Amino acid sequence: MTTSLRRADLLSLSNLRNDGRKPEEIRRLRVQLGPLAGEAGGSALVEMGLTMALAVVKGPMECLRRSDELPDRAILDVKVSAAPFGFGTDRRVTNANTDRRLVEAAHWLQKAMEATVLLQLHPKSRIQIHVLVLADDGGRLCAAINAATCALLDAGIPMKDFCVACTAGLDEDTTLVDLNRREESSSNGQPAVVLPCAMLPQRGTVVLAQCEARLPSTDTLHRVQAAAMDGCRAVFEILQAAVRERATTLLSARKGHASIENAFP
């Protein structure tokens, strides 16, 4: 099937991306708080476009080994794993414990959450966060961070602020927000510019920013960073609305005005 108009020309002609979004638009974000009812702790399912991440939080609880515990604050035990079908294109059975990128994602997630959660309130304890990536269409780390934030909120663990994440990138001098897998993959033989960024939106501080590609100048870096922060703020509004809705539902259920059916999207 050949078309006279190549998809790559779409961006320059009509200022639209390959899935029809404008450059500064984020993908459809759906949040579901507490999908796994009956789970001790909290859980959240976040879908950014087609990327789906499920986070389960347990804790604060005892540390497994006395040598792990810290006397003045809690430790975060973070694990990121991917379902066999959650790997982008083909189905690949990879051992979650040894996949380097998942281990790295867990490390970044831990650093981001350590800056957000009020760990000093629970000394000598452990908070366990497990993120399961169910589908990967780009922005896996950001979906994981957003899911972890919502799961921590669902579990009632005290935090300084939401920790929201969004990617930003560059395509021929246009900054893009919330890249999907096709935009993240390298084009023209050069690695694509992808900057996942996590921030605390109400405080305006950046918790995580990471870029592994070459940028033309520091001004470009500032632009991409600013675009990422704008994307994060857009994500924050949606997350905050979802959390408020969940809280009102729970409150009215407790008062007896409503009953919660087992929720699914």
Site residues (vs another protein, CB under 8 A): 1, 35-40, 50, 52, 54, 56, 64, 79, 81, 83-85, 90-91, 93, 96, 130, 132, 134-137, 260, 262, 264-265
Least separation in angstroms between residue 186's CB and another protein is: 20
Least distance from C-beta 89 to another protein, angstroms? 8
Q: Which C-beta is closer to another protein: that of 20 or that of 265? A: 265
CA distance 58 to 163: 18
Residue closer to another protein, measured from CB, 127 or 164? 127
Nearer to another protein, 10 or 36 (CB): 36
Q: Cβ closer to another protein: 60 or 201?
A: 60
Q: Which residue lies nearer to another protein by CB, 88 or 201?
A: 88
Measured from the CB of residue 107, what is the shortest distance to another protein in angstroms? Answer: 18
CB nearer to another protein: give 22 or 91. Answer: 91
As measured in angstroms, the least distance from the Cβ of 6 to another protein is 17
DSSP output for the chain: ---SS-HHHHHHHHS--TTS--TTPPPPEEEEE--STT-SSEEEEEEETTEEEEEEEEEEEE-SSTTT--SSS-EEEEEEEE-TT-SSSS-----TTT-HHHHHHHHHHHHHHHTTB-GGGSTTEEEEEEEEEEE-SS-HHHHHHHHHHHHHHHHT--BSS--EEEEEEEETTEEEES--HHHHS-BTTB--EEEEEEEETTTTEEEEE---S--S-HHHHHHHHHHHHHHHHHHHHHHHHHHHHHHHHHHHHHHTS--PPPP--
- Least Cβ distance, residue 63 to another protein (angstroms): 11
What span, in angstroms and rounded, lies between the C-alpha atoms of 159 and 219? 33
Q: What are phi and psi of 104, to 5 degrees?
A: -65, -40
Amino acid letter for position 258: A
CB of 10 to another protein, least distance (A): 19
Residue whose CB is less far from another protein, 11 or 96: 96
For residue 171, the minimal CB distance to another protein (Å) is 23
